[in-house]
Amino acid sequence: MGNTFGHLFRITTFGESHGGGVGVVIDGCPPKLEISTEEIQTELDRRRPGQSKIATPRKEADRCEILSGIFEGKTLGTPIAIVVHNRDARPQDYAEMAYKYRPSHADATYDAKYGIRNWQGGGRASARETIGRVAAGAIAKKILRQAADTDIVGYVKRIKDLEGIVNPEQVTLAEVESNIVRCPDPEAAERMIDLIERVRRDGDSIGGVVECVARNLPMGLGAPVFDKLEADLAKGVMSLPASKGFEIGSGFAGTMLTGSEHNDEFHLKDGTIRTLTNRSGGIQGGISNGENIVLRVAFKPTATIRKEQRTITCTGEETTLSAKGRHDPCVLPRAVPIVEAMVALVLCDHLLRHQGQCSPINCH
């Protein structure tokens, strides 16, 4: 239950962090889309562990294997199955966590719900589950690019109290990938890297905010009342491990403005309805308005840390825990491609739904 996401473009992820592997089954992908293993691998390489000194040292190549749904470089319109095998699992690092609950992790809640859990690395609660999302997101991005020239770029906006200055209208993937923290502001990036390294040496962790922009999205995606575009985007990104907050457009800052200050006034640009500002974040009434979609996701500090903390055992005894294993001191740099993937999955699903629903009289 709860492992499937989407309507027409539908994904189901599978696998656990220290099992045989993880992956995804994608259903509803249109046929004849040209997609290669290399295109999917490029996105997975941005997510994989061990890629820098500020990421978990777990060494996984995360090489994807396409099992079905693609033939001679093109999608068949049938389910696409992709798997990534786990090669560097060390379940022995988690032996103590078999009976001690990690504070702020899913150990206690999984036990409460299922009465059983895979304590080796967190099982399905591990961020390793997101491999399937990123693989599917690579295909969703390709559909969006071909159908509407839609461009999705995520980046680290803030680490703890260090915030970068970034223009979502102009930021490029090259700028994001120019440093290991994935903040396009070079000066802020250096300070962020230093902070993450200090926290890692102390055996602690920190969180922050990922911002993401989707450009060149058609007007008209989304549906009232419960399928509003921002509602589905919120569900998508808030389903990510360690996510704790969501904003779109002006977000909470918009509550400090009056209506006359906040409203996005309309004008015509080359005969097309546009807005003079974009405090709505590209969505009005739950439907895309043709402006850039700009959203932010807050991620908490990584739950598993080396510092000693109070906890209880699965039998209800008070104890302490200094967690072992290999964990990111800050999830933000590796969360960037995962946020992009979830945004792409939502937008691709709504694009296909819009194309299947709109009347021939008003379809463009």
> What are the chain's domains?
4-357 (3.60.150.10)
- pLDDT, residue 90, reads 72
Phi, psi of 332 (to 5 degrees): -55, -50
pTM of the model: 0.96
Query: What pLDDT is recorded for position 50?
Result: 80
pLDDT at 19: 87
Buried b (16+ CB within 10 A) or exposed e, 203-225: eebbbbbbbbbbbebbbbbbbee
What residues have CB less than 8 Å from 206, skipping those under 6 apart?
A: 159, 160, 195, 196, 199, 301, 329, 330
Q: Is the dihedral of CA 359, 361, 362, 364 positive or negative?
A: positive
Cα angle 199, 239, 104; round to 5? 45
The pLDDT value recorded for residue 118 is 87
In this predicted structure, what is the pLDDT of residue 258?
A: 98
Q: How far apart are CA 97 and CA 164, in angstroms?
A: 37
CA-wise closest residue to 66 among 5, 17, 135: 135
Nearest-angstrom CA–CA distance, 14 and 22 = 6
Q: Using CA atoms, how far apart are residues 107 and 16, in angstroms rounded to an integer? A: 14
- φ and ψ at residue 349, rounded to 5 degrees: -60, -45
Q: How far is 274 from 225, CA to CA, in rounded Å? A: 24
CA distances from 189 to 84, 163, 177, 353 (A): 31, 9, 11, 39
Would you state the pLDDT for residue 358? 67
Kindly report the backbone phi and psi dihedral angles of residue 51, in degrees, each rounded to the nearest multiple of 5, phi listed first. -85, -15
Ranges in the chain, pLDDT < 50: 364
pLDDT at 362: 53
Q: How far apart are CA 281 and CA 335, in angstroms?
A: 21
Q: Which among 33, 15, 32 is positioned nearest to 24, based on CA atoms?
A: 15
Gap between the Cα atoms of 265 and 68, Å rounded: 48
